[in-house]
Structure 1
């Protein structure tokens, strides 16, 4: 296992990363810069959703690295296969296709007292 992960822990290093490219490099995941330039926030959000479901307490660092790498690879693959619009990771994109809300009933001003 790489010494850089043993010094501070991969989760700490990921948390301190300042770019998507840095996260890909930390985990050793190859990527197409064109895809990352278009979908970086979506990929990271999807990875975060996967991470939120994980329990890492008591897990060996090598296993944590492997699981994080797999989550990033899966999140990236989602956006290689389809667009951010298709994946709808963010609320604003989900709301755009949600059932339209019924407009409030119109009440003419002259009926109010």
Structure 2
């Protein structure tokens, strides 16, 4: 195990990650979105096929970029809009399935 992964093991909260990777943050954004930020960060890391073979410095740089991106997603949007968790994705799908065009309620124009 590398020093970098040892350091990661010590991080517990969203604030721990943000401080460790030196990502500036607004506590109000984190208070509302902490789990969403961490989940999005995890998703970005999972989608990054370029992490293999990087040294600790390269990994730290890449992780920082993904964490900054994840945090910014929730600065400019909301957890509901971002549909971070499965429950949000399922709810959006259900809403789309329940969508009824206004024209169908009013009937055809005469």
Give the structure-2-normalised TM-score: 0.77
User: Quick check: which one's helix share is greater?
Assistant: 2
Residues 82-111 of structure 1, C-alpha deviations (whole Å, 9 max, x = no match):
11010001011111121449xxxxxxxxxx
Count, aligned residues: 94
1:84 aligns with 2:79: yes
Which ranges of structure 1 fall in alignment gaps of 5 or more residues? 1-6, 102-113
Matched, 1:97 2:92: yes
How far apart, CA to CA, are the structure 2 residues paired with 1:82 and 1:30?
17
Distance 1:15 1:92 in 2: 28
Aligned twin of 2:7: 13
CA offsets 1:12-65 (integer angstroms, 9 cap, x no match): 422431111110111011100000000000000000001112343321221111
Q: Which residue of 2 aligns with 1:57?
A: 52
User: Greater CA radius of gyration, 1 or 2?
Assistant: 1
Whether contact under 8 Å (2:51, 2:62) holds in the other structure is no
Q: Which runs of 5+ in 2 are unaligned?
A: 99-110
SS in 2 for 1:98: helix
Looking at structure 2, the residues matched to 90 and 26 of structure 1 have their Cα atoms a distance apart, in angstroms, of 25
Cα RMSD (Å) of the superposition? Answer: 1.7
TM-score, normalised to structure 1's length? 0.75
